[in-house]
């Protein structure tokens, strides 16, 4: 049975629309057709399938002569209903059969029905309503021929009998219902009873159901038939298996389009960024020239400095050559601001053993370290980008990565990362530094920009991100706190794990763990370069997105990986020592506690 979660499935927060494929009696008494209809409902990805199990003498008294002379010939046996229920449950479908008498109600409950569906004509049959409520199953009530007082009275009976899992169906009992008589806005009225509202569709086609979903119907019931051209009781309001599949797909598309009732500050799609503009060079500009208004151009995408900042660029001196159309950033200009000077320091050496000289390995034709630096240069909030490596001969190849003067290269202590960062900060007269490791060729300009703003708002010593994809973030550290770390008496032995010195000494340093916006929170993604599988993943990403000698933004990575989830599985089994090795974790923690 499915009923133990059915109520939560329908009324739960962010639950998708619950779609019922109503077979009814469109099988015309053929058990083989009924079984095929269950199979079709499953393949079309419906949530439930329903049948009718009503005999002629159960619905009419001797005072009425029914015109439905074929009704009894369409009636399936109890044993056949049990088999259909079992088949539906095997496929993971919820199932019920519409009944109108006490004996049949007891039968379908024992057979495994997941909910009770009550036709609108029975809303005034209070004894039957109470018995349905006492089953403990969710109750779906149809209101097609009911008045508001009748609906309210029926709900009181159901609630008094102990049932609180109710779905109120809006519908019109006319078969087929003309569009002008559907009155979909009645859904808003029925929502006032604080129960989920559904829609039983008795119109031709499926367009009205799609509109009902958009208006907030939590459950949609639609008749279907194996062949809607064959005259059956509901053939005029039934859709074919192919139409049912498309109908369900369309509902899921509508759900995605509806989103949440908020106006987002941070868009989740790349069209927002692509449609906006950045400050660019309007012509080739030489180092030392003073920018004027006609030197500036404003071009897409909006991944760089915003045009509203243009006034801060005019009459400032360029620190490097810039080609026409290239984005301009504040780190290319001589400082003349009271804002703190921010230097982004990329720490890199060539001593890796698991992936030798990984910083020089090409990713879609560009060295990995250059990929990292290109992304760092695209952070609009920093004044300088520095590549900090050692003064050992083995690291000489890194000195050439100045990227035409846009990156400063500083060489220093081979072992003490903190000393090298301070050296880079002093060289650029920085107040604040961002520490990025050179094995992160997909470090995110967007994440770093967010972290800088968060750090400046709180005026702390050390800021680090929570829940970001590994390899996309950075730590932000004040120069003053770095000097304080270097001047304390305990020798620093594990500075390659610099963040631990701050996190493990919260009494010595003020720390902020920045919660990133949801669009950056992918902690399960590994986007760092340490193993051959990591290189394979980056090659796939950069090649597929055809990223040339240009930055790669996180919105591009996110969109690509969401649409191609198999890519992130390439390196999913690669372990990270400082996170997964208990002995190393203990060693680092013991070494980095200073207090």
pLDDT reading at 548 higher than 50: yes
pLDDT reading at 236 higher than 60: yes
Average pLDDT over residues 559-580: 88
- Mean pLDDT lowest among 51-65, 86-100, 492-506, 516-530: 51-65
339-592, CATH topology level: Spore Coat Polysaccharide Biosynthesis Protein SpsA; Chain A (3.90.550)
Tell me the three state secondary structure of residue 115. Answer: coil
Per domain, the residue ranges of the chain are 3-258, 280-337, 339-592
- Mean pLDDT lowest among 273-277, 294-298, 464-468: 273-277
- Mean pLDDT lowest among 4-8, 100-104, 334-338: 4-8
CATH of domain 3-258: 3.20.20.70
pLDDT at 12: 52
Tell me the three state secondary structure of residue 518. Answer: helix
pLDDT at 231: 77
Spatial CA neighbour of 153 closest among 126, 171, 135, 132: 126
What is d(CA 165, CA 587) in angstroms, rounded to the nearest whole number? 55
pLDDT at 59: 56
pLDDT at 259: 72
pLDDT reading at 477 higher than 50: yes
pLDDT at 267: 42
Where are the alpha helices (H) located in 428-546, listed in sequence order?
A: 445-458, 479-487, 498-503, 532-545
Per-residue CA distances from 303 to 250, 366, 375, 449 (Å): 34, 21, 11, 11
Could you report the per-residue pLDDT of 48-63, keeping only the tens digit for each? 999 998 865 555 544 4
What is d(CA 537, CA 469) in angstroms, rounded to the nearest whole number? 14
Spatial CA neighbour of 161 closest among 139, 130, 140: 130
- Share of residues in the chain with pLDDT > 70 (%): 91
CATH class of the 280-337 domain in this structure? alpha beta
pLDDT at 529: 95
* Structure tokens belonging to residue 266: 């941070």
Whose tokens are 């004509």? That residue is: 121
What is d(CA 387, CA 402) in angstroms, rounded to the nearest whole number? 8
* Structure tokens belonging to residue 325: 């159309």
Could you report the per-residue pLDDT of 175-204, keeping only the tens digit for each? 888 999 999 999 999 999 989 999 999 898
DSSP label at 76? P
Give residue 595's pLDDT band: very low, low, confident or very high (50, 70, 90): confident
The pTM assigned to this predicted structure is: 0.52
pLDDT at 237: 81
Could you report the per-residue pLDDT of 423-472, keeping only the tens digit for each? 999 999 999 999 999 999 999 999 999 999 999 998 899 999 999 999 99
Give residue 72's pLDDT band: very low, low, confident or very high (50, 70, 90): low
Average pLDDT over residues 64-89: 78
* Structure tokens belonging to residue 226: 């194996």
Average pLDDT over residues 288-306: 88
Could you report the per-residue pLDDT of 242-271, keeping only the tens digit for each? 999 999 999 999 988 887 665 554 444 444
Q: Is 552:542 a contact under the CB 8 Å cutoff? A: yes
- Mean pLDDT lowest among 43-47, 304-308, 393-397: 304-308
Radius of gyration of the chain (CA): 33
Burial label for 229, CB within 10 Å (0-12, 13-18, 19+), is exposed
Q: Is 503:516 a contact under the CB 8 Å cutoff? A: no
């Amino acid at each position: 049975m499915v009923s133990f979660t059915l109520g939560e499935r329908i009324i739960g927060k962010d639950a998708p629309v619950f779609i019922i494929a109503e077979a009814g009696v469109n099988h015309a008494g053929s058990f083989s057709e009924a079984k095929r209809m269950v199979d079709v409902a499953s393949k079309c990805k419906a949530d439930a399938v329903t049948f009718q199990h009503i005999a002629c003498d159960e619905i009419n008294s001797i005072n009425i002569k029914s015109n439905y002379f074929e009704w009894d010939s369409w009636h399936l046996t109890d044993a056949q209903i049990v088999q259909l229920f079992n088949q539906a449950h095997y496929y993971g479908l919820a199932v019920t059969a519409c009944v109108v008498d006490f004996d049949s109600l007891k039968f379908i409950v024992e057979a495994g029905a997941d909910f009770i569906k009550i036709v609108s004509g029975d809303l005034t049959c209070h004894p039957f309503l109470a018995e349905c409520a006492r089953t403990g199953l969710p109750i779906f009530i149809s209101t097609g021929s009911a008045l508001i007082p009748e609906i309210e009275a029926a709900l009181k009976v159901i609630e008094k009998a102990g049932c609180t899992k109710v779905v109120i169906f809006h519908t019109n009992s006319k078969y087929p219902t003309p569009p002008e008589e559907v009155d979909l806005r009645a859904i808003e009225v029925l929502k006032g009873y604080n129960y989920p509202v559904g829609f039983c569709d008795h119109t031709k086609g499926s367009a009205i159901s799609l509109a009902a979903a958009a208006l907030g119907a939590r459950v949609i019931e639609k008749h279907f038939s194996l062949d809607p051209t064959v005259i059956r009781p509901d053939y005029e309001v039934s859709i074919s298996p192919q139409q049912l599949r498309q109908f369900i797909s369309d509902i899921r598309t509508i759900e995605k389009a509806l989103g949440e009732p908020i106006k987002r500050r941070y868009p989740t799609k790349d069209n927002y960024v692509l449609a906006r503009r950045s400050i660019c060079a309007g012509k080739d500009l030489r180092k030392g020239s003073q920018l004027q208004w006609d030197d500036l151009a404003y071009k897409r995408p909006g991944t760089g400095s915003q045009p509203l900042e243009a006034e801060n660029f005019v009459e400032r001196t360029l620190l490097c050559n810039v080609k026409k159309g290239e984005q301009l950033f504040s780190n290319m200009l001589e400082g003349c601001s009271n804002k703190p000077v921010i230097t982004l320091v990329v720490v890199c050496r060539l001593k890796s053993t698991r992936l030798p000289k990984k910083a020089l390995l090409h990713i879609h034709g560009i060295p990995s370290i250059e990929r990292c630096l290109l992304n760092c240069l695209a952070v609009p909030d920093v004044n300088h980008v520095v590549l900090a490596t050692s003064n050992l001969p083995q690291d000489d190849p890194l000195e050439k990565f100045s990227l035409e003067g846009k990156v400063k290269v500083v060489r220093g202590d081979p072992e003490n990362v903190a000393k090298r960062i301070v050296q880079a900060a002093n060289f650029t007269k920085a107040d604040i530094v961002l520490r990025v490791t050179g094995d992160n060729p997909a470090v995110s300009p967007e994440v770093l920009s967010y972290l800088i703003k968060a750090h400046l708002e709180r005026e702390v010593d050390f800021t680090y991100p929570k829940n970001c994809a590994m390899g996309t973030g950075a730590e932000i550290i004040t120069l003053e706190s770095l000097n304080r770390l270097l001047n304390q008496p305990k020798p620093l032995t594990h500075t390659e794990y610099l963040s631990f010195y701050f996190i493990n000494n919260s009494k010595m340093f003020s720390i902020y763990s920045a919660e990133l916006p949801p669009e950056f929170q992918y902690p399960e993604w590994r986007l760092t370069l340490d193993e051959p599988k990591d290189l394979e993943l980056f090659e796939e990403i950069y090649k597929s997105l055809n990223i040339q000698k240009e930055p790669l933004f996180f919105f591009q990575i996110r969109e690509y990986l969401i649409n191609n989830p198999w890519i992130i599985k390439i390196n999913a089994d690669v372990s990270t020592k400082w996170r997964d090795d208990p002995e190393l974790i203990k060693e680092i923690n013991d070494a980095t506690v200073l207090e």
